[in-house]
Structure 1
């Protein structure tokens, strides 16, 4: 599915493009979202776009909300979205003040290339800080005949929400395996929906991209016997040569019930992003609150640190407020 504008319409602007992407995000306010009425209107509200409620972005954003609400003059309004690709559109349109996003997707959006969803640069995007590796899980049931990526040809495969970073990565991996869009049946659901389809026997495999343990995968593994397909060996080498931002990763044995051996795979990097018009002081205060209170974070706490927060930044300008924060710390 391509969210791009009709390039024959010469009047279409970058701002129009951003609006289309933002509209495609289907952003929904959710349970942990701040509400201006409940807050009494005294705080300055910052809109923070996360991801699906069954992934890692959403609960981690809830941790950030707790910290920022208590440590700054701001109140964070967390929204559930279609994740990385949708969030790039929301930031570009300045409907979001901050968002969690994959490093590769942020660069694609900034440059206007790399995946079909970005056919014009969204050049007001700015990087802030990297957080943790987002591990690519390729999940099947334990009794499935699918044992390698190449076995997905002809299968029903859930590639993630339309427009999500998960979908982008899944399609890149399938393409590397020589599996084109006409060579498999694509389903599009969030992590919880994909888990339900596997549980009910309505799909053959599903891609999930998130910091392990992903809640939806953990729950699925507690309900049924699952298998996580390796992305390894020569295939991984070729994939990394073709797509340089894929890093080698391993899902440790015991991460999920019944997965009793290490699973070799690849990962991208989760990060915080904003837009160029965001106030420098706001960015600094948000980063100071987060990195001075890492002990309050439950999601991916062992992987988030100020020492690694500039590792893996994409080829996107860093916001001046972030630059100042890291220079001082």
Structure 2
């Protein structure tokens, strides 16, 4: 910097001491998930929508993470401003149960906007003999890496069903891409995911080795939903996968953008407003959002209240 420019900035700072501080850019982050999953591209698109509004003093940054549980714990410690998380883990964090019991209830957790449904999706190898959820007994099953949200969700789901991992003959904790390879090569019988549809990984499994999707249904599942209203009956439509007319019944949670109540109301409102304005582009660019960005928390059985900033946009 030249002496003349330095003098100009010095003079400005002396006569207007708040000038330079006022120009500081506030960067806020959205905790997402694995870059190969749905959360990261959705968070990236949301940040792009916000940043495109020419607000040069506030910038949104998508952060790749291990997923829902990690995101919520980082929010609890103050290291994330916003996050995408499954509704079952939102409830656990809000109430301070299961994996969040030690840290205490995060009762100031709030929904900014629901995003999309995430279905429990069981992929079975073609020669596994698995046709129903009951056929998983004694089989070699992948449930995801131990630090992942899907691993925690599957363990919690089994626990609520009065089962444990000993239901399976062998349990594997694999990355999604590795699970696909192991499934197609016949080294595991099934892999369980919790994800939005359509999904590229599912398409690859169907195309590469003719894997099949298994329905998650039956009297035990109905009783589970009645006792756990954060879960809902869902249908996996196979038309996007090139199988028109085929559907599989399962259960789902809801992926939502969340923040703590203390996050500035105006920032939350502007972020929610940017998502609303970019709705058509988001749904066009992201197939998982084809049904539209979900807007009715009551119908979706969201377990936590709306953020005041989100309500400001709706009003």
TM-score (norm 1): 0.78
Measured on the aligned residues, the alpha-carbon RMSD in Å equals 2.4
User: Structure 1 residues 241, 234: closer, same or farther in 2, change over 3 A?
Assistant: same
Higher helix share: 2
Which residue matches 1:142?
Answer: 126
Q: Which has the larger radius of gyration?
A: 2
- Picking from 262, 272, 290, the partner of 1:287 is 272
Which residue matches 2:196?
Answer: 211
- Picking from 209, 219, 224, the partner of 1:239 is 224
1:256 maps to 2:256: no
User: Structure 1 residues 147, 259: closer, same or farther in 2, change over 3 A?
Assistant: farther
Tell me the distance in 2 between the aligned counterparts of 1:128 and 1:183. Answer: 38
Residue 286 of structure 1 deviates from its aligned partner by: 0.4
Residue 252 of structure 1 deviates from its aligned partner by: 1.4
Tell me the distance in 1 between the aligned counterparts of 2:180 and 2:245. Answer: 20
Tell me the distance in 2 between the aligned counterparts of 1:310 and 1:90. Answer: 27
Report if aligned partners of 1:284, 1:322 keep a CA contact under 8 Å in 2.
Answer: yes
Residue 177 of structure 1 deviates from its aligned partner by: 5.5
The 3-state SS of whatever aligns with 1:198 is helix
1:312 maps to 2:297: no
User: Structure 1 residues 201, 76: closer, same or farther in 2, change over 3 A?
Assistant: farther
- Per-residue deviation, residues 194-226 of structure 1 (Å, max 9, x unmatched): 223323333221111111012211122221111
Give the unaligned 5+ runs of structure 2: 1-22
User: Structure 1 residues 43, 169: closer, same or farther in 2, change over 3 A?
Assistant: same
- Picking from 284, 290, 296, the partner of 1:302 is 290
- Picking from 42, 45, 64, the partner of 1:63 is 45
Give the unaligned 5+ runs of structure 1: 1-40
- Per-residue deviation, residues 117-163 of structure 1 (Å, max 9, x unmatched): 54432334222221221111011112212222222223222222334
Residue 97 of structure 1 deviates from its aligned partner by: 1.1
Tell me the distance in 1 between the aligned counterparts of 2:141 and 2:244. Answer: 21
Aligned pairs for 1:1-329 (under 5 A) are 43-73=25-55, 74-113=58-97, 115-116=98-99, 118-119=101-102, 120-175=104-159, 178-184=162-168, 185-256=170-241, 261-297=246-282, 298-299=285-286, 300-305=288-293, 307-308=295-296, 311-312=299-300, 314-326=302-314, 328=315
Tell me the distance in 1 between the aligned counterparts of 2:148 and 2:256. Answer: 15
How many pairs does the alignment contain? Answer: 286
Tell me the distance in 2 between the aligned counterparts of 1:134 and 1:177. Answer: 19
Tell me the distance in 2 between the aligned counterparts of 1:307 and 1:260. Answer: 27
Which residue matches 1:15?
Answer: none
User: Structure 1 residues 47, 157: closer, same or farther in 2, change over 3 A?
Assistant: same
